[in-house]
A and B are shown apart, each in its own frame.
Chain A
Amino acid sequence: MNYVDALSLVFQPHTIITILGAALFGLFVGSMPGLTATMAAALLVPITFYMDPVSAVGAIVTCSAMAIFAGDIPGALLRIPGTPASAAYVDEAYQLGRQGKLAQVLSVNLLASAMGGIFGALVLIFLAPQLAAVALNFSSYEYFWLALIGLSAATLVSASNPIKGCISLFMGLFLATVGLDVVTGFPRYTMDSVNLMGGVSLIAALIGLFAVAELFRKATTIDEDLPPPPQVKGAILTQGIAAIRQYKLNVLRGSTLGTFLGILPGAGADIAGWISYAVSKRFSRTPEKFGKGHIEGVVDASASNNAALGGAYVPALVFGIPGDSITAIVIGVLLIKGLNPGPTVFTESGDIVAAIFIVFILANLLLIPLGLLAIRAAGKVLSVNQRILLPVILMLSIVGAFAVNNSVFDLWIVLVLGILGWLMEDNGFPIAPMVLGLVLGKIVEESFVNSMIKSDGNLVHFVDRPISGTLAAVFFAIWIVPLIIRLVRRPKAA
């Protein structure tokens, strides 16, 4: 990886303009209650389709970092988290705001987010190439187990009901089988439609599941207006710097925990926020102050959710296994750009990977000035009429999904998956495993079929290499250990 060449890729005028545009878009979407960072990334996909890989991934990296921070703004102002990643500490932030510490809590959100984001990015920069060097020795057997581990962890982490998580995952895997069979070219589940021969369009599926499903949900409460937000007054940064100095170890702890959770498949920024807030309370000297307007937990969790973003790119880039739903989208974008996420991307497209790393640092540095602007403009942004905003987002979704292939058929995919996503999520079926299944489905099948052909159908070869054997043991442990724990605990509870 050559960082000098990578710098020249990033510091192109069109790339910088794209990054700035994506940053403003991310800040706006993150600030709007109910619109998530994943939705912002999904809405960007059809636009990134026409960009070079660095601008495309750079736009998503920047947009998601900004959106995760901006989600804190309506939390502190209105007690409504802008994105689910801010939900853990929304009460705490709101209480602080009511105590006249609005500028303090928002500046802590901003500074801790930027520090957490940079920490996660540094871990990504140093860890990913080392892991990739190891992963170069992997064969299809190892990839098969890795993909299964990624899918299993994502399913078990994201669902409160494991069966529903599993159903969601297998629905995604099924959607990935639609189209021509990878080995024989036989059409499967295409219903004799030429449009389905190439499979379900990933971009249309992402827009349907993440954007249109969310718009349906927002339309059900269109008669409800947001309360008028209070204005943020006075100097912002100085108050945050004092709190960050006081709780510097919390920044480090939140960042470390967030990065680690981000690396785990399935546990993204949302879960990182909850766990870091809980850990902060558990180890605080003043746990009794939590929930009544105490900044300590906000420091941990704000750093953690932004750090998780960088962590999630480690398995995504090294193994092609997404750490969260945003990296699932990024993998889709990389595949569309002809880059195969996996260890070879570090050798074949090292400059692009290095450029993505640089964008990570740049995005988190840009977060401070642009975040300050977003805090200042929060009153105006939150006054935007949702009844106008939602139709505008829907128009962007429709035209974006249509424009990629100029295909009316893709709109039907958007519609069907939008309704399905809405129905599923409102009935307790998580969407993230379905998207992971859709993105990873072909990789799982290809690595399985390739391995079966290589081994001539002998399943022993799946486990007789040291790494593949270990990965197989991890995979079975993920499923069996929770069951054993449950069985052991049950008699005691009785």
Chain B
Amino acid sequence: MLKVSDLVSGLAIAGLGIFIFVQSRSFPAIGNIAVAPSFYPGLIGAVLALCGLALAGAALLRGAALPLFVRPAWFSKPANVVAVLAVPASIVAYGLLSPRIGFLATSFLVASGLLLAFRVRVLTSLITAFLVTVALYLIFAITFRVPLPYGVIERLLP
């Protein structure tokens, strides 16, 4: 992954801490309760902000603030970039496609695409994607009776 200087990550975390703290101030105190809903998250936000500032400050004191970002080695290898991008792409594709075209079609398409992105041969990818889809269907839909998304292929099943 991208290597980030402690200065950048520290400041980002301090920002998150401040956001959590400020948001918590908008939570109402309800009734006579000794601890308002804002107390605990407010405390977490404050500690995160302090830790983030400490991390950034320590990086500055050590003289280790630069470089702010370091390009990872895999960035220069197109095949590895494709494989890395295929991971989020398949999660997004499954989330968007499965409610529309059903589990079986989505799983086969996503697994095929993923295997091809991982540089597996076309025929091997298609056969593996088919076997994975059938195995997942048997595990979740048949064994555990999970109602997986219903779609085009499921309608053809008995």
Interface residues of chain A, those whose CB is within 8 Å of chain B, are 47, 49-50, 163-164, 166-167, 170-171, 173-174, 177, 181, 183-184, 186, 188-189, 212, 215-217, 219-223, 385, 387-388, 390-392, 394-396, 398-400, 402-403, 406, 408, 411-412, 414-415, 418-419, 422-423, 426-427, 429, 445, 448-449, 452-453, 455-457
Contact = CB atoms under 8 A, between A and B. Distances in A.
A163 B103 CA distance: 44
A398 B2 CA distance: 24
14 contacts: A50-B144, A50-B145, A170-B48, A212-B87, A212-B91, A219-B84, A223-B80, A391-B118, A396-B136, A403-B146, A406-B147, A426-B2, A427-B9, A449-B34
A221 B88 contact: no
A448 B77 CA distance: 51
A430 to B, nearest CB: 14
Given A163-B58, A422-B1, A427-B4, A219 B87 contact: yes
A458 to B, nearest CB: 9
Given A163-B58, A177-B41, A215-B87, A170 B33 contact: no
Interface of A is mostly: helix
Nearest to B23: A189
A415 B27 contact: no
Contact of A170 (B51, B128, B144, B146): B51
Instruction: Give the 8 A-B CB pairs with smallest separation, nearest first.
Output: A220-B74, A426-B1, A50-B144, A181-B37, A391-B114, A219-B83, A222-B83, A457-B34
B1 A411 contact: no
Interface string B141-157: 00111111100000000
A178 to B, nearest CB: 9
A164 B55 contact: yes
Contacts of A167: 13, 48, 51-52, 55
Interface string B1-14: 11110000100010
A183 B35 contact: yes
Contact of B80 (A188, A219, A453): A219
Contacts of A166: 47, 51
Contact of A186 (B30, B35, B146): B30
Interface of B is mostly: helix
B1 A423 contact: yes
B41 A189 contact: yes
Interface string B24-50: 100110110111010011001101100
B68 interface: no
Contact of A222 (B30, B99, B103, B118): B118
B78 to A, nearest CB: 10
Contacts of B132: 391-392, 395
Contacts of A452: 34-35
A406 B146 contact: yes
A415 B86 CA distance: 12
Most buried by A among B41, B107, B145: B41
Interface in B97-133: 98-99, 103, 107, 110-111, 114-115, 118-120, 124, 128, 132
B66 interface: no
A394 B51 contact: no
Contacts of A415: 88, 91-92
Contact of B47 (A170, A177, A457): A170
Given A183-B33, A387-B120, A216 B94 contact: no
Contact of B79 (A217, A222, A422): A222
A220 B13 CA distance: 26
A394 B90 contact: yes
A387 B37 contact: no
B148 to A, nearest CB: 7
B48 A174 contact: yes
B118 A453 contact: no
B87 A395 contact: no
Contacts of B158: none
Given A222-B79, A403-B140, 4 more contacts: A184-B33, A219-B87, A398-B94, A399-B107
Given A167-B48, A391-B115, A399 B136 contact: yes
A450 to B, nearest CB: 9
A423 B77 contact: no
A134 B96 CA distance: 52
A453 B37 contact: no
Interface string B50-90: 01101100100000000000001110010110011011101
Contact of B95 (A188, A387, A412, A429): A412
A449 B35 contact: yes
Contact of A402 (B35, B98, B111): B98
B18 interface: no
Contacts of A390: 118
Most buried by B among A166, A173, A402, A429: A402
A395 B119 contact: no
